[in-house]
Amino acid sequence: FTYFFFKQKEDNIRCLTMFGHFGFECLPHQLVNRSIQQGFSFNLLCVGETGIGKSTLINTLFNTNLKDKKSSHFYPNVELKIQTYDLQESNVQLKLTVVKTVGYGDQINKEASYQPIVDYIDAQFEAYLQEELKIKRSFVDYHDSRIHVCLYFISPTGHSLKSLDLSTMKSIGSKVNIIPLIAKADTISKNDLQKFKCKIMSELVSNDIQIYQFPTYDETTAQVNTSMKGHLPFAVAGSTDEVKVGKRMVRGRQYPWGVIQVENENHCDFVKLRDMLLCTNMEDLKEQTHTLHYERYRCCKLQRIGFTDVGPDNQPVSFQEIYEVKRQEFYDQCQREEEVLKQKFMQRVKEKEITFKETEKELQDKFEQLKRVQQEETIKLEEEKRQLEEEIINFYKMKSGSETFQTQGCTSIKKD
Ligand code: GDP
């Protein structure tokens, strides 16, 4: 039995005060159960120079050993290495995809080092868009590979950002949630680190580089996120080694002068990063990826293809109309291209005809000349033949003359 208390609001939406149990208060539980059943996925991009500590930090973050061999410094170009792992913490399953740069910062010419990263991010957006545009979509088993966060590893130089850092972060800032990190923070002194952090943040601002803004709209996380903002860029140290400190075993790096404990907030910002990334903001990072970065990509792409929501008269345009216009445009373009091709073909045919005619004339001239030469040659030979025949006749004449002479000579000798 249900009782409703009706309240008329100014905007004509009635608010009901309910007495009794209905069951829709369990909606969040349904969502939780479904999400746990489906499992979660998270795609993380690590950008940083070779040997800066990317693999170590990922292993430290997930307290695992995601087997990976050391990368070399001799790659001719920047490449990306993609690995997907299935992780489980209590009954929550996480499909973690780690994309790492390989050969980043190792080339002499670093101008286009960011391009493979930009291309990869865009390719994942494009794949999602293509799935969205399909008639038969299958998002249930679709592996969404869009990058949710980019951990950008800055060298602990204590000076400033390198031009490679600036150009890459500028190129990807509008495509992905960047969280800047100072890598190997154990190699920089406390004073230098604070100055370095300030320098980096001011350089990011002055170069108009967009980084991930921790959300403050949610009351519970607003406080922690606001205070965390002040620690950016997180100075992190990574290690999967267990080191003895007092009576406890902790994860850290052992040095001759002491131990840096990665999970000690006085030593580095590793715990802050882990909490921000995995506990507090993972869902927001995914949401920002979808609603901000992917939306931007989708919007630009569809506009480039020619889609629009409103026509020149500011009236909404239907998909059908756009399709018809595009179809007509495409048809016209095909016609134009066909015409151009036809013209080109005719031109080529004409040119060929001219060259054939020229070649034919050349051959004809050659033939005529050869014919003339041959005729002259025949006349010459005829003349020579005639002369030879004359010579033969003369020879025979001479021969018969000499024979007569010889016979006459012999007769007169006998008479004597
Ligand atoms: P990647 O090439 O960026 O993946 O770098 P790796 O994670 O393979 O680390 C390269 C080297 O740096 C290894 O010898 C690590 O032990 C060391 N390393 C990793 N993280 C840290 C750190 O936080 N501090 C220091 N000092 N060394 C680190």
158 close to ligand 1 (CB < 6 Angstrom): no
Per-residue pLDDT, 384: 96
Question: For position 416, what pLDDT does the model report?
Answer: 62
Residue-wise pLDDT for 183-192, tens only, equals: 999 999 888 9
- For the entire predicted model, the pTM comes to 0.75
Residues 155-161: what's their mean pLDDT?
Answer: 90
Running DSSP on this structure, what letter comes out for residue 310? B
Q: Which residues, 6+ apart, have CB-to-CB distance to 114 below 8 Å?
A: 167, 168, 171, 172
| pLDDT (0 to 100) of residue 226 | 84
What is the structure's pLDDT at 342? 96
Rounded to the nearest angstrom, the distance between the alpha carbon of 338 and the centre of ligand 1 is 59
User: 238 near 262, Cβ under 8 Å?
Assistant: yes
Ligand 1 atom nearest the C-alpha of 71 is 2
Q: Is 68 in the pocket of ligand 1 (CB under 6 A)?
A: no
Question: Does the structure show a pLDDT above 60 at 5?
Answer: no
Retrieve residue 63's tokens: 């307290």
* Residue 103 near ligand 1, beta carbon < 6 Å: no
Q: Which residue has the least CA distance to atom 19 on ligand 1?
A: 53
Q: Which atom of ligand 1 is nearest to the CA of 262?
A: 23
**pLDDT 10s digits, 247-291:** 888 888 998 888 889 988 889 999 999 999 888 889 999 999 999
Reported ipTM exceeds the 0.85 cut: yes
Taking the CA of residue 49 as reference, the ligand 1 atom at the shortest distance is 3
Mean pLDDT confidence for 210-234: 84
Average pLDDT over residues 397-412: 85
Q: Sorting pLDDT into bands at 50, 70 and 90, what band is 66?
A: low
| CA distance linking residue 173 with residue 118, whole number of Å | 10
Report which protein residue has its CA nearest ligand 1's atom 27: 184
Which of 56, 80, 184, 193 should be mutated for ligand 1, with most atoms under 8 A from CB? 56
In the chain, the percentage of residues whose pLDDT exceeds 70 is 94
Ligand 1 contact via 251 beta carbon (within 6 Å): no
- For the cut 80, the answer to whether the pLDDT of residue 379 exceeds it is yes
Backbone phi, psi, residue 378, to 5°: -65, -45
Q: Would you state the pLDDT for residue 400?
A: 92
